[in-house]
């Protein structure tokens, strides 16, 4: 077998929404799924992301299902640390759509993702930069 990818995903039962991070050679895809959305296909512009005190803009794309958005986040330790340590995250899409998530308990997921990234690199996966891999992980909540 071949070790192929790393990712984490959480499902919010009360709303049917999902939040995921998928590791790519160039960084992360943050995947947001909301069954209430019906978004246009293709590149929709830059999403504004706020995780605790960390903020950034990143390219967003709808590909496949109209209820799913992929946001490209490069290798970024500040983002991963904020994701692990913050209680809330909000995303504003260029379409005006707003998405908010509870991040309670994500520190353990980010540590597991960090371990996976190191394994992925060691066994022929992608290159990638920092992005939490190769370091000492993330401080617990």
For residue 65, the domain's CATH number is 2.60.40.1880
The answer to whether the beta carbons of residues 31 and 70 sit under 8 Å apart is yes
Structurally, the chain folds into a number of domains equal to 1
Could you list the pLDDT tens digit for every one of the 141 residues in the chain? Answer: 555 678 888 888 888 999 998 888 888 889 999 999 998 888 888 999 999 999 999 999 998 889 999 999 988 888 888 988 999 999 999 888 899 998 888 888 888 888 888 887 776 555 444 443 333 333 333
Owning domain of residue 37: 7-122
Straight-line distance from the first to the last Cα atom of the chain, in angstroms, rounded to the nearest whole number: 35
Q: Return left, alpha or beta for 16; rule: phi > 0 is left, psi -120 to 50 is alpha, else beta.
A: left
Examine residue 89 and state whether it is found in any structural domain, yes or no. Answer: yes
Percent of the chain with pLDDT over 90: 29
State the DSSP string of 116-139.
HHHHHHHTT------TTTTS----
| pLDDT score, position 88 | 93
Tokens of 77: 């330790």
Q: What digits encode the pLDDT tens for the residues 35-63?
A: 999 988 888 889 999 999 999 999 999 98
Examine residue 105 and state whether it is found in any structural domain, yes or no. Answer: yes
Examine residue 117 and state whether it is found in any structural domain, yes or no. Answer: yes
Examine residue 129 and state whether it is found in any structural domain, yes or no. Answer: no
Examine residue 81 and state whether it is found in any structural domain, yes or no. Answer: yes
């Amino acid at each position: 077998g071949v070790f192929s990818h790393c990712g984490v995903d959480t499902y919010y039962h009360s709303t049917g929404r999902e939040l995921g991070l998928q590791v790519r050679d160039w960084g992360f895809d943050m995947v947001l799924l909301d069954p209430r959305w019906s978004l246009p296909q293709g590149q929709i512009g830059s999403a504004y992301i706020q995780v605790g005190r960390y903020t950034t803009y990143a390219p967003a794309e709808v590909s496949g299902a109209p209820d799913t958005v992929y946001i490209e986040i490069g290798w970024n330790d500040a983002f991963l640390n904020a994701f692990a340590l913050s209680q809330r995250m909000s995303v504003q899409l260029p379409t005006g759509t707003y998405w908010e998530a509870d991040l309670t308990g994500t520190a353990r997921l980010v540590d597991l993702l960090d371990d996976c990234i190191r394994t992925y690199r060691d066994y022929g996966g992608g290159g990638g930069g920092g992005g939490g891999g190769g370091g000492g992980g993330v401080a617990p909540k």
